[in-house]
Amino acid sequence: MFEALHPYENRLITYSDYLEFALESNCSKPNDAKGARCPVCTRLMKVRSGHKKGDGHFCHKDDKFCPTKAPAGRPYIGLPPSDIDPIATKLNQEFAQNNLSKIWNRLQSIVPFIDFKEFIDILAEAKRLRVYSYANLEPKLLPYVYVTLINFLPNKSFQKKRKLKFCFFYESEVQTYGDLWINQGSFSRLTRISYNNGKTQRVTLIDTNTAYLEREQDSLSQKQLEWCIKIM
């Protein structure tokens, strides 16, 4: 991948940034410095120079499993909640239905060229996985659960404008969606990984804020809203 977490700070750095860090650390070889970290599994990474200028990148130091290598291996997908509260489920579904337009607008801002049909697919998956039934679910954070439910493929994008495949990940400690809310007030780090031909191209940290609820933006049409609610 072309970006990784700083060795000590919670921010992404590039290959060039890491070379500068190694120099400032008085290391004669870049990989002698403290390694950058994978934004998903948080294990140490090493740098590798590319075949041409600007092609340097990060790679894992070991061959252990990391979700970025196999998106289908995200453990929180496919595991429905064990304890279901019917009242909480109803309230969470109602929140989603009452804020569909705002949730849709937030997804548009973090998923390049998202198509409305992809949104429908997300809502169908949320129903299948019973996402609204998770204990302690904070419904305001639903957009950041929704994006992990499907892979965003170029041929499914709006007017097929998306050039890369996108997948969203939480750090590897998250084993079920319920884990996202175990530590109240501290939502797990969400990362968007961009792929090209199976290779990681770019890493983006997603700000999981709730300011989207305060913005007045264009709404979905009545027909689109009815379609969404029918799927939910």
pLDDT (tens digit, 9 = 90+) per residue, 175-212?
566 666 544 445 567 889 888 887 777 888 899 899 99
- Give dist(CA 3, CA 191) in Å, integer: 12
Burial (Cβ within 10 Å: 0-12, 13-18, ≥19) of residue 89: middle
- Give dist(CA 216, CA 208) in Å, integer: 18
Mean pLDDT of 167-179: 68
- Would you say the C-alpha torsion 150, 154, 155, 157 has a positive or negative sign? positive
- Would you say the C-alpha torsion 158, 195, 35, 148 has a positive or negative sign? positive
Domain identity same for 12 and 89? no
Mean pLDDT of 146-150: 91
Domain identity same for 119 and 191? yes
- Are 78 and 72 in contact by the 8 Å Cβ rule? The answer is no
- Are 81 and 134 in contact by the 8 Å Cβ rule? The answer is yes
Domain identity same for 24 and 101? no
Domain identity same for 134 and 204? yes
Domain identity same for 131 and 96? yes
Q: Which domain holds residue 154?
A: 72-231
Domain identity same for 115 and 22? no
Domain boundary among 64, 98, 116: 64
Domain identity same for 79 and 54? no
Q: What is the pLDDT of residues 29-75, one digit of tens each?
A: 888 889 898 887 888 888 887 655 556 778 888 877 776 666 555 54
- Give dist(CA 60, CA 119) in Å, integer: 33
Domain identity same for 199 and 224? yes
Domain identity same for 156 and 224? yes
Range of weakest confidence among 3-12, 81-90, 146-155, 161-170: 81-90
pTM higher than 0.85: no
